[in-house]
Amino acid sequence: MDIHSMVRVAALLILSTALAPFAGATPPVPVETVTGCVKDGRMLIQAPDRFKRERPLTISPCTNIPFEFKRFEGKQIRATAGIDHYNGAFVCPRDVMILGDCKTDKVAAPARKDLPRQITDDQADEIVWALPEVQALIKRMEGAKAAPFSMITGYPNPDAEPGKPGAFYEVYVGERHDTHTVRVLTLIVDAYSGKVSVYDEAAEKIIPIEEYRKRTPK
């Protein structure tokens, strides 16, 4: 195991007690307001777009915030929750609003068998840690109590074609403090080329890393 992997594993172990509200989830658990369909106790996220490629997440309510499974079954809802792709969980949903009945699923196109090989999650992680932005974060935090960490929060669809939706990793980069974590970047790594883009949280869209660098003061 290389040093980056060891840092990542250590960060996850220490953080397991720091995020008590999301019991049972592997930190960090990004909290998002999303729209999706509830079926068989699972949430299939339909928006924001970057979550559409993910598998349905098992709904895991907090003990103090009940989730009305029977009422929401078969309904399209909007809710705020922790998006835990690592454990496949929709954590502590709240502020739930029914938008209507679930939309009919479209028939998926047959999987292609002649696709190029995708990069592994370790390779995606190595690409992220080698970025100047992440190296600058490491240097900036030397000697500080906080520590940098990364975690893959979205995996590519093995049947996705190069350049198409779903053909990338989503990687959360942040700072681990004693009592909390701070998101620094959400990076999108192409599963075939390894090219890196950045998720612009304010604009809710993915932008090329070159554009991000132009916007970011040095």
Residue 130 has pLDDT above 70, yes or no: yes
Q: How far apart are CA 23 and CA 32, in angstroms?
A: 17
Strands 147-154 and 168-176: antiparallel
Higher pLDDT, 135 or 145: 135
Distance CA 187, CA 108 (A): 27
Q: What b/e string do you get for 43-75 counting C-beta neighbours within 10 Å, with b at 16 or more?
A: bbbbeeebbebbebbebbbbeeeebeeeebeeb
**pLDDT (tens digit per residue) in 80-116:** 998 887 778 899 999 999 999 987 655 445 555 688 9
Question: 23 vs 176, which has greater pLDDT?
Answer: 176
Whether the pLDDT of residue 121 is over 70: the answer is yes
pLDDT in tens, 45-62: 887 766 655 678 899 999
Interval 11-16 mean pLDDT: 41
What share of the chain in percent tops pLDDT 70?
78
Confidence class for position 20, pLDDT limits 50, 70, 90: very low
| Sign of the torsion angle spanned by Cα atoms 53, 55, 56, 58 | negative
- Rounded to two decimals, the pTM is 0.52
Q: How confident is the model at residue 9 (pLDDT cuts 50, 70, 90)?
A: very low
Is pLDDT at 118 greater than 80 in this prediction?
yes
Give the CB-side neighbour count of residue 151, counting CA atoms within 13 A: 23
Q: Which amino acid is at 128?
A: V
Contacts with 32 (C-beta within 8 Å, 6 or more apart), sequence order: 48, 51, 80, 81, 83
Q: Which two tokens stand for residue 65?
A: 């915030």
